[in-house]
Amino acid sequence: MLTLLFMVACTGTADSGKTDDSSTGGGGDATNGEALFGSCAGCHGADGTGGIDIGGTPSTDLTVSVPAKTDAELEDIIKNGYGYAMPGQYSDAQEIADVIAYLRLTFP
Ligand code: HEC
């Protein structure tokens, strides 16, 4: 009984704590973002550390790069891609917000 209550309380905190302070307008769902990150992981690695050769360009280490970017910059990269080696990934505003919520949680 106590354990169940504790888990519910924890889940609520993890969700709402991260989505409310987003400058993209909020509403990012990190849990959905984790699933969406699957498409990033193919190039940046499941742990985000990158270094994978993509057509001659090494993928970026997201553990270093994400904390240095604003939400607006991340949104632009996810939507439009980056350089020659990374194509745009998502165009849906909600999906982009979800990915950013996951990135902020995972690579603070
Ligand atoms: C097809 C492979 C590929 C996929 C898929 C991909 N990336 Fe990338 N990404 C790269 C490469 C390669 C670079 C480095 C490009 C360069 O330096 O010109 C990069 C660069 C970046 C950068 C810029 C880093 C910096 O410091 O400027 C960010 C942020 C990033 N990726 C995030 C993501 C996210 C988030 C996703 C998923 C939504 C994703 N990437 C999907 C290959 C990929």
**Tell me, what's the pLDDT at 7?**
47
Is any atom of ligand 1 closer than 6 Å to the C-beta of 19? no
User: What span, in angstroms and rounded, lies between the C-alpha atoms of 103 and 86?
Assistant: 17
- pLDDT tens column, 20-71: 444 444 679 999 999 999 999 999 999 999 999 999 999 999 999 999 999 9
Return the closest-CA partner of residue 88 out of 39, 23, 27: 39
- The pLDDT of residue 2 is above 70: no
Q: What is the pLDDT of residue 26?
A: 61
How many Å apart are CA 106 and CA 63, to the nearest integer? Answer: 8
Give the residue with greater pLDDT, 4 vs 86. 86
63: amino acid identity, one letter? T
Distance of alpha carbon 13 from alpha carbon 11, whole angstroms: 5
**pLDDT of res. 27:** 77
| Any ligand 1 atom below 6 A from CB of 57 | yes
Average pLDDT over residues 95-103: 98
The closest of 57, 49, 52, 66 to 85, measured between CA atoms, is 57
Is residue 107 within 8 A of residue 67, CB to CB? The reply is: yes
Which residue lies with its CA nearest to atom 33 of ligand 1?
40
